[in-house]
Amino acid sequence: MVPLQCGIAVEYPELVDKLILMGSAGLNAEISEALMPILKYDFTEEGMVKWSKR
């Protein structure tokens, strides 16, 4: 599945200045233990404090 943003960039390049793509792009990569706090971040103030004190 192609993300909506990529489709718009292909169909209407004049509307897109730049794209910032994040992720593994479908690559089969192992998630390390170091990434788990970021992946489990809950977007709360308490979560930010907990994450930033690492």
Angle formed at CA 26 by CA 51 and CA 38, multiple of 5 degrees? 0
pLDDT in tens, 26-49: 667 777 888 887 788 888 888 888
Q: Which residues contact 15 (CB under 8 A, 6 or more apart)?
A: 8
pLDDT for res 18: 85
pLDDT, tens digit, for every residue of 9-27?
Answer: 889 999 988 887 776 666 6
